[in-house]
Amino acid sequence: MADPNNTRGAPPREVHIEKKKTNWLAWILLGLGILAALLALGRCNRHDDVAVAPAPTATPTTVTPPVAVKHVALPGGRTVDLQPQTLNYDLQAFLASAAPVPRTFTFDKLNFDTASAAIRADDQSTLSALSAILAAYPKAVVRLVGYADARGSDAANAKLGADRAAAVAKALTGAGIAADRITTASGGDANPVASNATAGGQFQNRRTELVVTSK
């Protein structure tokens, strides 16, 4: 049966079917979105270590920590608190030993103010410990030598040294040490232990030394 819409003798009509275009951009974006979601989910399930910045390292200092005081037993049942590496600590160890005499000890803490032979208040504890040590070793005989810095004349420095040694001897005899166990001398400004070019060095040179001559 002929197509009623087709006129006789006319060629058959071609039917054009338009293919729907695929939106590739939308699919790409969708795929990227799914990939991002999967990556985010993976991060949620993973416990990452948190980087912690290292604590700052303290800068080392040159300050030497104080040495602990020791309770030292003396002959006769007495004890005295002494700090190692001081004259009194080394002196008591020497007197308790069989080491020969004479031996010289420089006070680590028994210095004087400029042009003065007065015992400073800060040094009273040093003399108290020294008195206790000498009392515990009654056979010990000592010589005290006083010194000055180099700023004065030779005569003035010699007198200062003598006065300083005498001041230390007076403090010891006042604490009960027999005077015949102590002699004094002056070193003037000789044999400095530090530079006389600085105030600190001058202070160290205004000192007293103790020499054990018999024990």
3-state secondary structure 149-170: CCCCCHHHHHHHHHHHHHHHHH
Domain ranges of the chain: 102-214
How does pLDDT run across 14-51, given as a tens digit for each residue? 545 555 555 666 667 777 777 766 666 555 554 444 44
- Cα 114-115-116 angle, rounded to 5 deg: 90
Q: Looking at the domain 102-214, which fold is it?
A: 60s Ribosomal Protein L30; Chain: A; (3.30.1330)
Name the pairing type of β-strands 208-214 and 103-106. Answer: antiparallel
Q: What is the pTM of this model?
A: 0.68
How does pLDDT run across 62-110, given as a tens digit for each residue? 555 556 899 999 999 999 999 999 999 999 999 999 999 999 999 988 9
- Residue 86 near residue 80 (C-beta atoms within 8 A): no
